[in-house]
Amino acid sequence: MGAEPALNWQDAAASALEWWRDAGVDMLVEDAPRDWLARPAARPELAAATPAAAPPAPVTLPDTIEAFVAWRLGDAAPEAEWMSPRIPPSGPVDAGWVVLTDMPDPEDRDALMTGAPGRLLDRMLLAVGLSRATVHLASLAVARPVTGQIPPEQQARLGELVRHQLRLLAPRKLLLLGQAASRAVLGTDGALPSGSTAVLNQFGPDCAIGAIRHPRFLLEHPAHKGEAWKRLLQLHRGTSE
């Protein structure tokens, strides 16, 4: 008969303990209850060694309209990562009228409002003696998001930028197209302070502001064209009623 293998109980115990340790058991008995799902506390010496994140340095915006437009179209713009064409404003920078839309339309590539909404805007401007050549056409966002909606987390920043742009332009009359443009300029709900036009001095001396529904909306809901026409005439004539 062969000899029985010698059993080293110390090796066996060490092997068993190693197996339980690999399984996550690190103690046999503990008097106090433990929250096994709680995150482990950071070691004080590591927490003290981690430097606090410095607040981002404020961005100084260009103080001329030409430099500002170049900055808005560059890689520092909020829309730089939207992966869509960035379209500049058009028209003379010293125009008496500024027309502000929300964003480029899907068909826009080199200029703003080149499709059906733009053609409707052209007819409305022509009716009060204006044209693309005599107004400055700008947009709240210089690119169009894939979703067709400005991301909520970027609305406040884009509003700050467009208000700076309007202060540089200092228009005598400002026509806002749609709720997004109105909200960025006038406040949270985009409502005019009184009536359908108002005179504010934050963009220059006595800048008259009027807001209408966007031409995109008017094409889909023609019944609202009459109200938009009324408000455009009021802005043109300088009346509020």
pLDDT tens across 2-20, in order?
Answer: 555 555 666 666 676 676 6
Please report the pLDDT score of residue 206 as a whole number. Answer: 83
- Locate tokens 């947009």: which residue? 139
* Domain ranges, ordered by start, for the chain: 65-237
Please report the pLDDT score of residue 120 as a whole number. Answer: 97
Please report the pLDDT score of residue 76 as a whole number. Answer: 92
Q: What is the pTM of this model?
A: 0.74
**Which tens digits make up the pLDDT trace of 140-183?**
999 999 999 999 999 999 999 999 999 999 999 999 999 999 99
Q: What are the beta bridge partners of residue 90?
A: 137
**Which tens digits make up the pLDDT trace of 46-59?**
555 555 565 555 67
So what's the architecture of 65-237 in CATH? Answer: 3-Layer(aba) Sandwich (3.40)
